[in-house]
């Protein structure tokens, strides 16, 4: 989907400077210094407009959240939302997931959230899926042993692909559901996409993958 260019994007990002990490590589192994505490670090890969990450920030003040999004015209909306909600425990990086090992040290991350990632529907595009082996290998470089990847999607084929991918990479799967909103799972924070899909009556697929 083509992203519409935001007016005055650079200026708006500058207005959110307190939450925007311009040079995340400089914080590798030092994120606790930036957050000024030693709380666990959770990452959302592809934060979109920020509904999920700001909701999680409010619910879990003792967790440090890092939201990444490759498109600045998208992440600026998420940052503005976090500023409006006065979120104290979330930072934003305009980067790709491919460089996570360059900005986080071994065992520095406790959890990664993958919410409604692009399914890249063509088989030749499989390597671009955020649950492909290539990305899982990167996540394992920064996740603590016993840490988790929490994954949600509305795309059944991507969910099937991801189940196989996680298993092949020796993650232990837990809390698998093919209909999240009728599963009894408590504490779910919805993304903007999830709200839209749920209103249309589409089932949401979810799993937790433990790095063992």
Alpha-carbon distances, residue 45 vs 109, 111, 118, 184 (angstroms): 13, 11, 11, 25
Residues with catalytic roles? 118
Task: For residue 45, give the H/E element and its range.
Answer: strand 41-45
Alpha-carbon distances, residue 200 vs 16, 89, 139, 182, 193 (angstroms): 34, 33, 32, 15, 11
The structure tokens listed for 28 are: 């590798």
> Which residues are bridge partners to 160 per DSSP?
none
The structure tokens listed for 110 are: 């406790």
């Amino acid at each position: 989907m083509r992203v519409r260019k935001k007016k005055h994007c650079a200026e708006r990002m500058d207005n959110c400077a307190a939450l925007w990490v311009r040079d995340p590589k400089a914080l590798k192994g030092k994120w606790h210094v930036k957050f000024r505490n030693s709380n666990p670090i959770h990452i959302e890969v592809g934060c979109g407009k920020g509904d999920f990450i700001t909701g999680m920030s409010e619910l879990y003040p003792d967790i440090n959240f890092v939201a990444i999004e490759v498109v600045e015209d998208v992440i600026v909306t998420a940052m503005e939302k976090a500023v409006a909600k006065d979120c104290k425990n979330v930072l934003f990086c305009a980067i790709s997931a491919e460089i996570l090992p360059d900005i986080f040290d071994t065992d520095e991350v406790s959890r990664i959230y993958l919410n409604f990632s692009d399914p890249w529907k063509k088989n030749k595009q499989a390597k671009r899926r955020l649950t492909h082996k290539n990305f899982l290998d990167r996540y394992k470089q920064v996740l603590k042993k016993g840490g988790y990847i929490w994954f949600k999607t509305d795309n059944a084929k991507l969910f099937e692909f991801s189940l196989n991918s996680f298993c092949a990479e020796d993650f232990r799967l837990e809390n698998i559901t093919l209909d999240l909103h009728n599963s009894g799972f408590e504490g779910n924070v919805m993304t903007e996409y999830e709200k839209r899909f749920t209103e249309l009556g589409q089932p949401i697929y979810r799993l937790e993958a433990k790095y063992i």
